Amino acid sequence: MRYLPLTDADRREMLATIGAQSGGAKSVDELFRDVPQKARLGAKVAGLPDHLGELEVERAFQGFAAKNVSPATAPFFIGAGAYRHHVPATVDYMIQRGEFLTSYTPYQPEITQGTLQYLFEFQTQVTLLTGMEVANASMYDGSTGASEAVLMANRVTRRSKALLSGGLHPQYRRIIETTGHWQGFKAVSGKPDAEGLEDLIATVDKETSCVVVQNPSFFGHVRDFSTLAEACHAAGALLIVVVTEVVSLGLLKPPGEMGADIVVCEGQSIGNGLGFGGPYVGLFATRDKYMRQMPGRLVGETVDADGKRGFVLTLSTREQHIRREKATSNICTNAGLCALAFTVHLTLLGEAGFRRLAELNHAKASQLADRLAALPDVKLLNESFFNEFTVALPKPAAPVVEALATKRILAGVPVSRLLPGDNSVENLLLLAATETATEEGMGPLVAALKEVL
């Protein structure tokens, strides 16, 4: 077996060493003697195949891949919380270096400065993009990060009612509701806000721990939440702003300038491929005054015994391995390697590249929106958007998307997929266009849609 270095001769010698000791064993079976006899399998687990060579493994996965439609082979306009962007080859090369890929959480800082320094750079990049003061070393993803943000707001305010915007991604909302149900806080959700007209100010009261909004919203609308932030603060509540398309921060006023207290982003768009939904990387930023209430790992600057600058994991007294049942969160693993991909890609982009990438996304989406809006019976619901918008079709969107899929066009997400049973969204279709969109893709989409409607 190519991954197992021990030979039978090695195993015999090792057993001899073990057997010679008191309490030793003469066979490998004897090493398992603490396992109750009736639970010890004599043979390998039944009903499963034996090992395969590398060639056979690759073939099996090519078989899986052949049953899917790769976005690279079809006009593609799907977003809704995960976006198709071009990732430079350097990013994937860098994260596959074994020193990064096969290292663990940097518990021994003397020999993990590589990981610690890039996480410090990552934390800094996150504060710059969001306009916030402090950021952690990543969360599992944006969706779980949003739920952690609500828990943090509950700790800070000692309240337990979260107001969730109808513009929040439905799955994010569902995760917060699930957490609320089992962990004992109230999550009050607004109606789906397809038009982008929701006003939550009147609903904020003295029991509210936080209001969770998304910008651009799930339906694509771009809003200024400065007034909402003021209303939250006047009531002693926190404003949490969720960003599922982090590239938008290259063009839009950042949540930090709107008065947000916690900002959570899905960072997938920078450096990380679509990967059928994960692993992604959650960005989590807040104000300095809430630093010690943050979940997750934090990297801080310090000096070593020779006075040289170095980095360490810090403020770990918030964390489960020290605080156990009093920890701010049960989180242990984060998304280290996805954070590296984010940092490498954003470093390649730099100020000029990141801004231009955002401009390109907005321009492509504008072109697509205009072309779709020109179709008879198609209504664009957005006055504002970044790279994603909602259109109302004259008939249910789900079968339309299926019909286009049979023509190998991946047209967008029918809103009903994420909000099943809500008749008001049945005809709505959410489409995104990034820098990867081309005329060769938009043309066939518009033509096919015209045909199907």
Partner 1 sequence: MDRSQGRTGGIVTGGASASATFTGNRALQIEEPLIFEMGQAGRTGVDLPEPPKVEDRLNGLRRGGEIGLPGLSEPQVVQHFTRLSQKNYAIDMGVYPLGSCTMKHNPRVNEKVARLAGIGDLHPLQPVSTVQGALELIDRLAHWLKTLTGMPAVAMSPAAGAHGEMCGMMAIAAALEAKGERATRRTVLAPESAHGTNPATAAALGFTVKPIPANDKGRVDLDALKAALGPDVAAIMLTNPNTCGLFESEIIEISTAVHAAGAYFYCDGANFNAIVGRVRPGDLGVDCMHINLHKTFSTPHGGGGPGAGPVVLSQALAPYAPYPWIVKSGDVWTVAEDGATVDGQPLGRLKAFHGQMGMFTRALAYIMSHGADGLKQVAEDAVLSANYVMAALKDTMTPAFDGPCMHEALFDDSFLKDTGVSTLDFAKAMIDEGYHPMTMYFPLVVHGAMLIEPTESQAKEDLDQFIAALKSLAERAKSGTAAEAFKAAPLYSPRRRLDETLAARKPVLRWRPSNNPPGSDPMKQAAE
Cα–Cα distance measured from residue 242 to residue 255, given in angstroms and rounded to the nearest whole number: 9
Interface pick for partner 1 out of 199, 205, 207, 224 (rule CB under 8 A): 224
Structure tokens at 389: 């918008």
Q: Does 191 sit near partner 1 (CB under 8 A)?
A: no
Q: Does 189 sit near partner 1 (CB under 8 A)?
A: no
- DSSP-derived secondary structure letter, 48: -
CB 355 within 8 A of CB 250: yes
Our CA angle for 110, 121, 335, nearest 5°, is 80
CB 339 within 8 A of CB 118: yes
Q: Does 104 sit near partner 1 (CB under 8 A)?
A: yes
Least distance in angstroms from the C-beta of 61 to partner 1: 4
Least distance in angstroms from the C-beta of 202 to partner 1: 21
Interface pick for partner 1 out of 26, 110, 374, 395 (rule CB under 8 A): 110
Provide the 3-class DSSP secondary structure of residue 151: helix
Least distance in angstroms from the C-beta of 256 to partner 1: 11
CB 372 within 8 A of CB 400: no
Cα–Cα distance measured from residue 168 to residue 178, given in angstroms and rounded to the nearest whole number: 15
Distances 413 to 125, 219, 389 between C-alpha atoms, Å? 31, 11, 11
Least distance in angstroms from the C-beta of 86 to partner 1: 9
Interface pick for partner 1 out of 158, 202, 352, 376 (rule CB under 8 A): 352
Q: Does 453 sit near partner 1 (CB under 8 A)?
A: no
Please report, as residue ranges, which positions from 228 to 287 form the binding site for partner 1 (by CB under 8 A). Answer: 249-254, 266, 273-279, 281
Structure tokens at 406: 């049979």
Least distance in angstroms from the C-beta of 351 to partner 1: 4
Distances 12 to 19, 29, 43, 334, 349 between C-alpha atoms, Å? 10, 13, 20, 40, 56
Closest CA to 369 of 359, 379, 355: 379
Cα–Cα distance measured from residue 23 to residue 41, given in angstroms and rounded to the nearest whole number: 23
Q: What is the CA radius of gyration of the chain?
A: 26
Q: Which is nearer to partner 1, 293 or 320 (CB)?
A: 320
Please report, as residue ranges, which positions from 76 to 95 form the binding site for partner 1 (by CB under 8 A). Answer: 76, 78, 80-82, 84, 88, 90, 92-95
Please report, as residue ranges, which positions from 150 to 169 form the binding site for partner 1 (by CB under 8 A). Answer: 151, 169
Q: Does 395 sit near partner 1 (CB under 8 A)?
A: no
Least distance in angstroms from the C-beta of 368 to partner 1: 11
Q: Does 214 sit near partner 1 (CB under 8 A)?
A: no
Interface pick for partner 1 out of 26, 191, 199, 420 (rule CB under 8 A): 420
Please report, as residue ranges, which positions from 373 to 392 form the binding site for partner 1 (by CB under 8 A). Answer: 382-386
Distances 232 to 78, 167, 225, 235, 239 between C-alpha atoms, Å? 34, 17, 10, 5, 6
Structure tokens at 253: 């006023």
CB 390 within 8 A of CB 80: no
Cα–Cα distance measured from residue 133 to residue 128, given in angstroms and rounded to the nearest whole number: 8
Q: Which is nearer to partner 1, 66 or 206 (CB)?
A: 66
- Of 159-167, 203-211, 228-236, 403-411, which segment contacts partner 1 by CB under 8 A? 403-411
Q: Does 440 sit near partner 1 (CB under 8 A)?
A: no
Q: Does 112 sit near partner 1 (CB under 8 A)?
A: yes
According to DSSP, the residues that pair with 186 across neighbouring strands are 161
- Of 13-21, 155-163, 227-235, 445-453, which segment contacts partner 1 by CB under 8 A? 13-21
Least distance in angstroms from the C-beta of 207 to partner 1: 19
Q: Which is nearer to partner 1, 205 or 322 (CB)?
A: 322
Q: Tell me how crowded residue 241 is: count the other CB atoms within 10 A of its CB.
A: 30
> How distant is the alpha carbon of residue 13 from its chain centre?
49
Q: Does 202 sit near partner 1 (CB under 8 A)?
A: no
Phi, psi angle pair for 410, to nearest 5°: -95, 95
Structure tokens at 425: 């969204």
Please report, as residue ranges, which positions from 310 to 339 form the binding site for partner 1 (by CB under 8 A). Answer: 310-312, 314-317, 319-327, 329-338
Q: Does 66 sit near partner 1 (CB under 8 A)?
A: yes
- Of 152-160, 206-214, 402-410, 441-449, which segment contacts partner 1 by CB under 8 A? 402-410
Least distance in angstroms from the C-beta of 190 to partner 1: 17
Least distance in angstroms from the C-beta of 341 to partner 1: 10
How many residues interact with partner 1 (rule CB under 8 A)?
Answer: 221
Q: Does 135 sit near partner 1 (CB under 8 A)?
A: yes
Q: Does 207 sit near partner 1 (CB under 8 A)?
A: no
